[in-house]
Chain A
Amino acid sequence: LIIIACAPYYPQQMTRRKFLQIWQVATGMIVSFISAPAIYFWQTDRSVTAEIDDCWIDAGRVDDLPIDQWREEMLLFQRQDRWATFEQKELIYIHRSAQDITVFSAICPHAACLIRKKDAGFACPCHKSSFSSDGIVLAGPSLRSLDRLDTKMQDGRLYVKYEKFRPGTKTKEMVG
């Protein structure tokens, strides 16, 4: 490559300065060429999120949930990430009314801190976002309301589809 890059200059006078310039350009080209596979790999190798679809996590018996009351629940589950399996602990808030069940992820949609129950709604201690009991933003920097999680009931037990969403965005983008 160096020879090809230098070729057009050969008939003329080849000064040391010119040679060094060409050499620098050629080295730059070679380095970026050989580092491309590594950068491509880092760019495309992402933790897997596809299998999460059939990942319903048991959150206990429906009848155990008090009616019209918020409950803090810790979900325990196994998570597969590339080659490794992890014990994962995630906090959720569950509310059961006469008709349906609402589940919020405890991860603040602003900067991924953990929100806490406060008065009638929720508040995030990190940047002072506050949310109503339906998860709507009342104050603070959060761009979207609390992330609601899908639920289903089977044989009297509540199953939650635990997903994580990208923090700090207006739309809910699932990331894992």
Chain B
Amino acid sequence: MFLGIQNILGGISDVFTLSNLLVIAGGILLGQVVGAAPGLNAIMAIAIAVPLTFYMSPLAAIAFLLAVNKGGAFGGSVTAILVNTPGSPEAAATCLDGHPLAQKGQAEKALKVSLYSSIFGDTFSDLVLALVAAPLSVVALRMGPPEITTVILFSLTLIAAVAGRSLLIGLLAACFGFMMSLIGTDPIEGTSRLSFGIIELEDGIPLVSSAIGLLAVSEIFLQFEKKIAGHSHAVSKVASPEPADRQVSKREFKGILPAILRGSVIGTGIGILPGVGAVIASFISYGSAKRASKHQELFGKGSLEGIAAAESANNAVIGANLIPLFTLGIPGNVVAAILIGAFMIHGVIPGPTMFQDHGRLIAGIFTAMLLANLVNFLIARASLRVYAKTAFLPRSIVFPVILILCITGAYISENGMFGVIVMYACGLVGYFMAKFNISYVPFIIGYILGPIFETNLRQTLIISGGSLEIFFTRPLALALIILTLISIVRFVWQRNKI
């Protein structure tokens, strides 16, 4: 056992304290409510929730943020099913069958299928994470600066290619993320860099405020721009009185089980790849469930298999996306990127050394993740009808309250006005990125990975005396360069454009 039995037992016992259990339940509740509210999603909830963790222990803080993510992922399906508006992009595939079912008065049944599938997919990928992360980190520990540089290069290329509307735009966004990370103090010499004489900039652009701005405030600006008058796709609020229309029978559950299993495997497999997010996983799983189904004609008209396939896959991405973070210190998605910030705030550097230096914490996090799935299930099961009402909250109430919460979070994170100014500036950047259809994912991941990439690239060049030959003489680095080139060529070939 890599973590050691003492660390594992210690980690498990750390989770089962009253305060940690309350923190997990609170995170799940917050995530579910925010996810179920129209226009809000788990990523926004996590960005806003980071300042709340400043005074928590590292385990409580990470468990809380992961719980928010898990709760939010399920909450996103509530709006998808009830109002045909996915609470998060990955719930888009759930709309296809969830909403038609709700229109037939079977919203409760659709929500239950979504819940069972979400929890199964999430638990499956958490178990894979717990089993795979430690052995992979042993391999990762053998990597030197040239290998880490090329891993980041490969990840960024993959993220830029799949997250943006074109590879060039994605790479440009990542470069702008790098540029944002340049401001502050030089990571090797420790001298001032691009701070323009502003004292607050000496520490760099603060992560929490910028994440709140990019993810939450930009969405608020977009909502301000629209004139909102109710929901365009109102669902019949009258539920069917028939118990069969509200419950999932054993026979129905048996029928959707293959779709859940397939979705969990697809979601976990896709989630391991950096940048290839839950949206792709849920649509691939949906398509594959349709091909395998005996009732293909029901897909798009309220198929339980369709909901199960989409939800199990998009939730299975959650745990799997943390594998690159825990083993290499590379965020696989925006949530993982925000988690890096949260880890660092608590003095933990994500990556393979975490398993050596913080084995007990890692064991605690894995336990908390599995426990959070159970709590997610219990809270959601008890509150399905309340969330059904949350989905109909007017946006003119939700977004102003979120704006105040953002201002509070940004102010607290920097203990001053600077945080709020950065938040608004990043909010405007995110707003214009959305207007120009540029994904913020490569930008924010470029910003997070910038210092790690820079340090490793410079260390590599110092080791090699400035020669790039080192990248071609180390087998793993060479393999990763070839993979990067193949992914670029393949992307250009498939989309017929750069």
A and B bind? no
B contact set with A: CB distance below 8 Å: none
- A: residues with CB less than 8 A from B are none
